[in-house]
Structure 1
């Protein structure tokens, strides 16, 4: 049973007040600046209080539902039960999450007093993808259970046991991550890049630089080699004996802990060296850029769509600060935008900034969030000036942005009231048209034009093209590619499913040539490019009947008569028709890379795509032409 309560969250301030923000005086790298006031409500279920703020009702309900569903499996794995109701704080997006003061020495207050959030709290945020939110929920639950198991449930007991139990943080945090998510293709690619980079002579160097990845991969290694149940048993022994060598010897048959770490480094490295043999190293592109990844990272690479152009835009990220940089001909470098606050934390915004070229390569749109506001500007490459500056108040966040048909129309995958849907945005009028409206995550939207069919292609975790949507609907297990008829303005837009993957996800779909679309899938464990041959045929007309406030699709005479009687009418109000097609696609891989594709974009209307791959400590940025030979031969095995 769920109960909904309302409260106003007031955070005590240390430091000083500004007119638009409140700043707390805390250690370097831990400042939290608040640009808005949060009015909190919460769902109370059997085991959780789930707090949500304005426009977050749907997210709060989802989090409460998922937390209750996932609790039992995590308790079974950890072999420990939740002792008291835990608190979950849900933020609508990453930018609101960064404003949180929770966890830096400040407690919640409400009219009833202070509610302590010590080791039974979790803070999560929505980035437009419910899969990522679910993973955060599982990690939070696992963290609460493991902390209570290792250090106790009481604040005094927690501090005392934490001082006595000297386990490496990478070990405990890695166990939490492993309990929440056994493993993933992204983690596998990160581990491969780390081990094959040649930077680490031993496990301790690896754990010092990448503690969470090292810890997670260590427990996955123990689980795969000695059995998943042995992971919890090993942590139990380490807690009881307060000695990792004793725990390791009992689990691995007399091997010391250091020996196990050495075997991990050797065996995992050999596995990856064996895997990359026979795979293609890197693609060959017309535009090729390499960047060394150290303290500075390079994300959101966007190549100019003009085939002969050697210009591109990229986002540089370093210690919490973002720079949108425009490069011309490998010579000129112009900073279009700089924002962010310097911090020791290396957590990037999962969505912003977003970059998009128009089809002619003369305008670059940039969408970003600064001081709690989502802003858009358009940079004119020819005249070297920003010709559009707008604030976007329509959405809580935007997941993706592309130009559509002309330089005045943008296509968004954006979040509104906790739903990720597709929108068409007119820049000059600042108006939006909603294309999809359901609880499923509709990501990576892109306009396509095939012979006899145009529409918007996108990636979605809806179970099927005809899946219904209501408040209790939950997203499916994986993302597939769908096509929607955007010209039909009624609520009965035709949605066609173009892929049906059994493993992995299909993401970043876009047009490849006049008969093919392309997407990226990790079906074989590595993100590779796939192509789909699209076909369509007309299937007739569907009839829409309007009576009062009711709408009937292809109704029988009996249905019409019954509804007319209910509305006390003698005839229907109006009737409409729309064309229906049978759409299908044959999909196949066209690359077999050693490392996953990290990013990809369609480079305009000139049958080009951009790709980003990582090899060790380098990122390689490419602009590629459509591979017509591979499309014709279909001889790649991924």
Structure 2
């Protein structure tokens, strides 16, 4: 009986207990901590205000220039022109962006919905790769244009459209990403893995699990099947009809659900046909397999010792990151733990970084914490962390490998918005800069060939040296280069080893004594390629030193001119540097069904590691050098269906016959046509003068942009709520009623008129919100005003609330 009585009591307590959970409307836990003070300035172009902070002028200028170049094409695609300037906030790296208050969300929710105002604002950050930065710019511009199309420019249009227009988020977000970049090999590989795995029952299941990929792939399907010009037309039909079924029937003569079924069927057929004749896995030893469902695994690093089964891997789940060292599949040691529980799938693109030394006894780790770059080395023998340091000489580090010994590292790092190669001494904490230009230099790796040593790296430079490239802009693709490692930075010889017609060449490393290897998606899938390296002596270059000037093989007139500038009669010194002629023969080693996600050189034991994806599983392989394929060179990596269509489009564009130019009679050229109409205005110039005015992009790019201080802050409206309901206007303290209830958060009227508006500055550091509610009898009106200051490390706010309550129960006469 006693046990039954206690059980009944427990059930009663559970039944009357109110359980509170943190949901997406709760602000607790979403605050961001500022570890540094930002001093903002902004650069104004014709259509954009680009805001940048310390050491960000170069990035701000680049963002403004690219935004002006990309705007006309995006406006033409979405068939809408920008009405006012877009504010672009540029962060030097991902960690700085994570300190920003922008995008924390609206500080108040309404069950009846709210009107989110379009503020023409976007944020971008630099991760060391200008390709990614350009994509962020295009996506941000496309998002602003599309939101203005969907929701309008003024408050009335926004309130109406957001009430009546109900398009799925995957659909609108997919259209935005498609406008930013129609398609690429990474998306194609990800969609291939989804379609071949067969994990989703229908498109809605697919869109629920992977909304970004599903939306982007849907619009590509519309473009491929019905024409690229039908993409924006379909969105227009959805807005006009406010019904996807009607829009789909108008475009494809079928219901929207049937159109989605066709997508699933057609894409599966395409990819099953595409994988014929390709290998589904590497030929080698499977070291580990991980199922990447709700938990993701990346940056696998296998121990270079052949007899060891240890590896390091980064685990990510709901905002939490763990760097795990697995020893012989049994012992699990967590070397680093970061992050907080969050529903936002947002990973740091660079950290943590890990690298094994050649003997497999030390593991170097670079990670970011509280806005600083931290470093330590884990000693596998003593099982302790050594060489703990804070690296303050870089904005961010994008890649790291050991060099000849366990005291020297090669970094690909960013300083002042410029991505270059550096050599870092661990004990002395000194750096030596290898490259120094505006091009992105990534994935460095030390190599030692017969008669030549140096550093392989991937770069988007059009030519090898800065002198050869001149002022040319970075390429849209990456190739492999080799740079000397013994000369001074300005004297190093850089050689271009690959010249891909399409795709990128990434992750270079030494394969054997005469070959190097890299990963390229030239055929649409990231396959392993090899390059046979040869070099020969090409003599000596003469160096003339005059003051701070270094002249390489100069002419006599150039030397005389420099001597005159420095007011000297003779050169300071003469030097010589050895020059070699380097070349490489490139050929594929693999023909996989899916791309290599990651690859690392596993020490000096002629091993490489590869990570491939099969469905939602990621597999880590350790491979020996494929000497047979190196000798035969008999692998053909045929292009995928996506790349094959790109090749056909290129050939069609090349086959276009230019219409022959018909010679114009001489008198029609010389004679000026007489204008019989008088307009009262000056006549417009004809010929080349008038034609040059039709290229505003080039003109705007040549203008000198002005730089201003961001002072005082600029404020914008965030949201507007209006309607009739009985929602809680503010959570407040309750008047004491002698222990009697009920507790009321509102005025108990079933219907009230409510208006609430919120505003904040551009950086969302200072927020104001106010609102009022009018009761039907005008007796229980409520007013509230709140302000928040989020700029410093400690946030605070003030709320004023007033409510008129007549005849509360405790004061009534009995």
CA–CA separation in structure 2 for the residues paired with 1:32 and 1:69:
34
Report what 1:181 is aligned to.
Answer: 181
Q: Give 1:157-556 correspondences, 5 Å limit.
A: 157-252=157-252, 254-468=253-467, 473-556=472-555
Maintained 8 Å contact 1:459/1:479: yes
User: What displacement does 1:559 show?
Assistant: 2.2
3-state SS of the aligned residue for 1:475? coil
Report what 2:628 is aligned to.
Answer: 629
CA–CA separation in structure 1 for the residues paired with 2:221 and 2:85:
33
C-alpha distance 258-119 of structure 1, shift in aligned 2 (>3 A):
farther
CA–CA separation in structure 2 for the residues paired with 1:58 and 1:555:
31
CA–CA separation in structure 2 for the residues paired with 1:271 and 1:29:
45
3-state SS of the aligned residue for 2:544? strand
User: What displacement does 1:154 show?
Assistant: 2.8
Report what 2:569 is aligned to.
Answer: 570
Maintained 8 Å contact 1:119/1:147: no
CA–CA separation in structure 2 for the residues paired with 1:330 and 1:225:
48
Maintained 8 Å contact 1:456/1:483: yes
1:102 aligns with 2:102: yes
Report what 2:557 is aligned to.
Answer: 558
Higher strand share: 1
User: What displacement does 1:470 show?
Assistant: 9.8
Structure 2, unmatched stretches of 5+, are 1-24, 108-115, 638-814
User: What displacement does 1:617 show?
Assistant: 1.1
User: What displacement does 1:38 show?
Assistant: 1.1
3-state SS of the aligned residue for 1:491? helix
TM-score (norm 1): 0.93
Structure 1, unmatched stretches of 5+, are 1-24, 108-115
CA–CA separation in structure 2 for the residues paired with 1:341 and 1:590:
42
User: What displacement does 1:28 show?
Assistant: 5.9
CA–CA separation in structure 1 for the residues paired with 2:159 and 2:199:
36
Report what 1:16 is aligned to.
Answer: none
CA–CA separation in structure 2 for the residues paired with 1:192 and 1:119:
37
Maintained 8 Å contact 1:438/1:470: no
3-state SS of the aligned residue for 1:593? coil
CA–CA separation in structure 2 for the residues paired with 1:55 and 1:606:
42
Maintained 8 Å contact 2:375/2:388: yes
C-alpha distance 39-376 of structure 1, shift in aligned 2 (>3 A):
same
CA–CA separation in structure 2 for the residues paired with 1:86 and 1:590:
47
**What's the C-alpha RMSD, in Å, of the aligned pairs?**
1.7
User: What displacement does 1:315 show?
Assistant: 0.7
Q: How many pairs are equivalent?
A: 605
C-alpha distance 487-365 of structure 1, shift in aligned 2 (>3 A):
same
Cα-to-partner distance string for 1:407-441 (whole Å, 9 max, x where unaligned): 00000000000000000000000010100000000
CA–CA separation in structure 2 for the residues paired with 1:181 and 1:374:
32
CA–CA separation in structure 1 for the residues paired with 2:309 and 2:248:
55
1:86 aligns with 2:81: no
CA–CA separation in structure 2 for the residues paired with 1:586 and 1:386:
43
Report what 1:66 is aligned to.
Answer: 66
Maintained 8 Å contact 1:438/1:469: no
CA–CA separation in structure 2 for the residues paired with 1:66 and 1:271:
35
Q: Give 1:22-37 correspondences, 5 Å limit.
A: 27=27, 30-37=30-37
Maintained 8 Å contact 1:596/1:613: yes
Maintained 8 Å contact 2:35/2:371: yes
C-alpha distance 154-34 of structure 1, shift in aligned 2 (>3 A):
farther
CA–CA separation in structure 1 for the residues paired with 2:291 and 2:605:
29
Task: Select between 239-248 and 31-40 the one with higher mean Cα deviation.
Answer: 31-40
CA–CA separation in structure 2 for the residues paired with 1:209 and 1:389:
40
Maintained 8 Å contact 1:29/1:344: no
Q: Which has the larger radius of gyration?
A: 2
CA–CA separation in structure 2 for the residues paired with 1:470 and 1:228:
35
C-alpha distance 161-374 of structure 1, shift in aligned 2 (>3 A):
same
User: What displacement does 1:473 show?
Assistant: 4.9
TM-score (norm 2): 0.73
